[in-house]
Amino acid sequence: MRTSVMSQMQRSFSIDLPSLIPLQLPSRRETHLWYILPDEVKSTSLLKRYSQFLSPIEKDRVDQMRGDELKKNALLARTLVRTTIARYQTNKAVDPGSLMFKKNMYGKPEVDWQNCKNYNVQPLHFNISHTDSLIACGVTVHAPVGIDVEDKERKIKHDVLAFAKRFYTTDEVNFLATILDPEAQRKEFIKLWTLKEAYVKALGKGFSAAPFNTFTIQSKPGTEGGYSLCKTSEVTANPLEKTEECNGRWKFDLLELAGSHYAAVCTEDDQADEGAPMRVIVRKTIPFVEDQLISERIFL
């Protein structure tokens, strides 16, 4: 389903933007995953209009980026967050520029509802991630969310197993070591990276709260893109006796976006509805221009 709105606006010099099309909040067991492909946003007048939504601090950060492409991507990232969150205010049109953000005590960004003019407080969580060629934003309600995206073709400069031995768990290294084809091994390494990053970002307590070598993420047999998390903890002095604590509290989905990127989504499952599946709804967007529904996936 494609909704193309006012695309002819891009041709005029000074554009007046249409209202943002409102969105229904995700349900409790749903994640909305939005993404922008920067290459698809070419209109300088549209980009200029986007920049008007940014706070002075955000504008400074965009200006600090070295190079036009990095500046554009930084601008699009803030635009994606602001316009997406604004659209979930369904009962009135709100200005994406009036959203205020703050950081939790570990530095994770959140909406500062107290200071947003005209916004209704919503139990909404968001997280963003971007690469050179894709910017993604995940939205959930009631449960924190972590998103990480990586280019599938991203080259690792170090030896993959050496890198894994340094940062991942023994189980993960053993898994990677069974993959003989270097390309396939590199891809699995990247997938694991996105999953682990997504978890740390969902936790929202900074990297030191969950060093990568303290938890193992492994694929769930019989699922496509389903993963589970096991914490490793050393309770005895003997490093060979590690107890692994696997619980279903954290849910993962790994998917591919635009044929070019891996995207990992991690949310917390309050398990109120035991065993009920979780869903990810993926949509590509150009703010104020168009949305495209890409997929609806179920993960367990």
Scan for tokens 């749903």, then name that residue.
30
What does the block give as tokens for 229?
A: 């998390």
Q: Given the complex with other proteins, which of 197 and 291 has the nearer CB atom?
A: 197
Interface stretch with other proteins, choices 85-93, 160-168, 222-230, 279-287 (CB under 8 A): 160-168
- Answer whether 299's CB lies under 8 Å from 284's CB: no
Sign for the CA dihedral angle at 5, 280, 140, 25 comes to: positive
Q: Does 167 help bind other proteins (rule: CB under 8 A)?
A: yes
Q: Given the complex with other proteins, which of 148 and 253 has the nearer CB atom?
A: 148
How many residues of this chain interact with other proteins, rule: CB under 8 A?
44
* Residue 206 falls in which region: left (phi positive, over 0), alpha (psi -120 to 50) or beta: left
Q: Closest Cα partner for 247 from 234, 231, 235?
A: 231
Q: Does 65 help bind other proteins (rule: CB under 8 A)?
A: yes
Among positions 7, 24, 64, 174, the unique one binding other proteins when judged by CB under 8 A: 64
* Closest distance of CB 59 from other proteins, Å: 11
Q: Does 56 help bind other proteins (rule: CB under 8 A)?
A: no
- Per the document, the length of the chain is 300
* Closest distance of CB 1 from other proteins, Å: 28
Q: Does 207 help bind other proteins (rule: CB under 8 A)?
A: yes
Among positions 61, 142, 231, 279, the unique one binding other proteins when judged by CB under 8 A: 61
- Answer whether 177's CB lies under 8 Å from 74's CB: no
* Closest distance of CB 144 from other proteins, Å: 13
Task: Tell me 40's DSSP state.
Answer: G
* Closest distance of CB 150 from other proteins, Å: 6
Among positions 31, 194, 228, 285, the unique one binding other proteins when judged by CB under 8 A: 194
Q: Which of residues 89-148 bind other proteins (CB under 8 A)?
A: 103, 105-109, 127-132, 135, 148
Contacts of 187 (CB under 8 A, 6+ apart): 152
User: Is beta strand 30-36 parallel, antiparallel or unpaired with respect to 242-257?
Assistant: unpaired
Q: Does 164 help bind other proteins (rule: CB under 8 A)?
A: no
Q: What is the largest CA-CA distance in the chain?
A: 70
Q: Given the complex with other proteins, which of 46 and 203 has the nearer CB atom?
A: 203
Spell 205-226 as b/e; 16+ CB within 10 A means b.
eeeeebebbebbbbbeeeeebb
Q: How far apart are CA 125 and CA 287, in angstroms?
A: 19
Residues contributing to the site for other proteins (CB under 8 A): 58, 61, 64-67, 70, 74, 77-78, 81, 103, 105-109, 127-132, 135, 148-150, 154, 156-158, 163, 166-167, 193-194, 197, 201, 206-208, 211-213
